[in-house]
Amino acid sequence: EPEVTQTPSHQVTQMGQEVILRCVPISNHLYFYWYRQILGQKVEFLVSFYNNEISEKSEIFDDQFSVERPDGSNFTLKIRSTKLEDSAMYFCAIRSSRSSYNSPLHFGNGTRLTVT
């Protein structure tokens, strides 16, 4: 089973501040996802990232959000100027092969972001 480590596990930030959430897969993977889950609500797709570029993004993923793989392994989600409504659990997920969309996603343990 592929493993994904997310850091930090909990981030508290003030409104308007920038945050960077990190995702580190244990082995090389090509296809990455970010999801978020506002407390008590359903899981929402944010963005998918393949071969160092964004494949798809949702309406939630506006100009405040960006993703990158700065060193070829870490995969980051940046929120430039956080808002109260960005408070949520953010999950990174990986899929080992783009051609196998039947393969399940493997999730990290999530980062709980609290914006005050």
Contact residues for another protein (CB under 8 A)? 31, 33, 35, 37, 41-45, 48, 55-56, 89, 91, 93, 95, 98, 101-102, 104-107, 109-110, 112
Min CB(109)–another protein separation in Å: 5
Q: For residues 14 and 41, which CB has a smaller minimum distance to another protein in the complex?
A: 41
Q: For residues 71 and 99, which CB has a smaller minimum distance to another protein in the complex?
A: 99
* Number of other residues whose CB lies within 10 A of the CB of residue 67: 22
Q: For residues 2 and 71, which CB has a smaller minimum distance to another protein in the complex?
A: 2
Q: Please answer whether residues 106 and 1 qualify as being in contact, where contact means their C-beta atoms are separated by less than 8 angstroms.
A: yes
Min CB(52)–another protein separation in Å: 16
Q: Rounded to whole angstroms, how far apart are CA atoms 109 and 37? A: 12
Q: Rounded to whole angstroms, how far apart are CA atoms 39 and 66? A: 22
Min CB(13)–another protein separation in Å: 19
